[in-house]
Structure 1
Amino acid sequence: MPSITSLLGDTGRFFDALADGMARYGLPLDLGPMDHICYRAADKREYLDLRECLHAHGDNLMEGMIGGRPIMTFRLGAPLTSPFGPIDCLELAAPKPGKRHHPGLEHGEIVVPDLHRLQSAHPRVPFDDRALAQSPPELSLSLPPYQIKFHPRSLADTIAEEIALGLVLPVPAVYFRTP
């Protein structure tokens, strides 16, 4: 069984880059728990390979269509160690059709109680607030090639609610048959 770091790459460098980026903007690392990180697959083949391998490292919370492509979330059996504290969940995202993106570790998400308060407490931070009106609301901070996103509740709680309300869109059986 491949280790989680052999599957995801250098998580230490990724976490250090996120922590350094937050420090540059004067954001403390203890704003809230980083509840998950996201790995963006380069293509459908990598997504399928990682999906298979990651089952050995955690339990599938959900796989569904989000933004026109599959995303699967795992609750890890052994949380990842980071400067943000232990991270329990990993999101695996297939590439969005027609969009270029940076494959590999892409973002971490921090749970904060009030996004508007976070934004007003740090007026010099160039948060992207275009997703504040979506459900769930989100702030993001670009730290190329990575991002940190901020949400008012954990991904696991959001997934549990979406499952309970029947909001998860299943991945069509033909999705992986196309190039």
Structure 2
Amino acid sequence: MRRAIADEGYAAVTIEGLAAEADVSKQTIYRWWPSKAAILGEALLEGEIPGESPARQPTDDLAADLRMWFADVGAHLARPENVALARALIAVSATDPELGAALNRRFAGQTVAWVTERIAAAKDAGQVRPDIDPSVIADQFVALTSYAALLGRAFDTAQAEAVVDTLLHGIAAP
């Protein structure tokens, strides 16, 4: 299914096409899954996470760490198959909230955890205002990358720097 999404996009993938590729009937597909969203969700929940990379070790430079994170995301979203998959995940999440929540935990969980921990460490070090909720910042990172995927564009260096500079301006300790 991942190949089909990368080749044609989520909207073009059909139960008929999936059944033909698997050499089974549509009824067999529907016996196991109620929709193509459910098929994709199960495949993603049980399979490897495409493009997943281990969280980077934080440095003492919050801005550099955040810029590097955006550079990694930009490189990931520069590949059309990853944009197609991200868009499919968003479509699945919109059609099946429960499955969407599970996919969000699986795909965004590592990002949310890393950004939350990194911002919390900066907060503890006095680099970030004490009233900042690190998990809110982490959610913004997921939102920014989801939006980029919907538009089919990657973050270039200038955009990443602008986002990080704006973010840090808003949360930096006085």
Could you state the TM-score of these two structures normalised by the residue count of structure 2? 0.29
Which of the pair is proportionally richer in strand?
Answer: 1
- The structure that has the greater radius of gyration is 2
Which of the pair is proportionally richer in helix?
Answer: 2
Could you state the TM-score of these two structures normalised by the residue count of structure 1? 0.28
